[in-house]
Chain A
Amino acid sequence: MTTTYTEQVACVPRAGTLYDVIEIILDRGMVIDIFARVSLVGIEILKVDVRIVIASVDTYLRFAEACNRLDLETDTRSKTVPELFGGGAVTRAVGKKAAGKAVRSVGDKVRRAVGARDGDEDVEPKAEEEGLEEEQPLEEEPRPRRRSATRTRGSRPRTARRAEED
């Protein structure tokens, strides 16, 4: 169970998710010298891909935009970044589309690397599964601007990853 504490002391239990501890399950735990680990190659590659950094340029520009709109003379605390980012429907749609694209390319990379066949449900989700599952895709960054469930609006667009930032 994972609890996320964001701008409020928000408790968002997400039972059954592996996503926040996948690096621990793959990287920690008892090892015994003579034991083998299955699919070591696939797992190691996956670990690397789990850590692919979110698009920094994209993030930079969004921050800049938010900063430019921020007026320190007024009470900025009453605004949230999604609002500053103009988190309207269009932005959301674009963000989601871009995120899906990034996921697909990363997923393909892993799938190629581990020689997965179509129909295999490897740890990286297929892009088309996005939003269908109750839990976050495992290979997604821990970071991407997840909002707490206490928010009534699902506001912020998911951050897209860009291969060119790697």
Chain B
Amino acid sequence: MLSSEERGEIEAEMLKYPNKQAACIDALKIVQRRRGWISDESIREIAEFLGISTDELDGVATFYNLIYRKPVGRHVILLCNSVSCWIMGYNRLRKRLCERLEIQLGETTADGRFTLLPIVCLGTCDHAPALMVDDDLHRDLSPDSAEQILERYR
């Protein structure tokens, strides 16, 4: 069951649109913010609340890369792999993070602390290479400074 807080937030989003379905991406984001990811159960609950089929909602959920259909760690690292960051040292950064965290892109650390995901251009190319941890943007990175930044996230 969606919580009353979840329902309240989704209903507030629904006011922006002429039909319920249009709020489904907002709904997915609201539920993900509270639960960390979107499980099959979450899909069923949201679909029922919005009056759309679970398959239709899952088609939407799996299309958008910021909707997580698998569990993620406490912190999600979005590592920019687009062209400017690639030129400015993305590969060295990725290598270091993978070694340090002992995971590959798309995976979560054994202690559930970090999930490492690639992301398309973060729009901060004059400060490449860049990554985000949760809502925080970090720029002008070296492998060393990136490693230090991760220490801030427990």
The judgment on whether A and B are partners is no
Q: Which residues of A contact B (CB under 8 A)?
A: none
Q: Which residues of B contact A (CB under 8 A)?
A: none
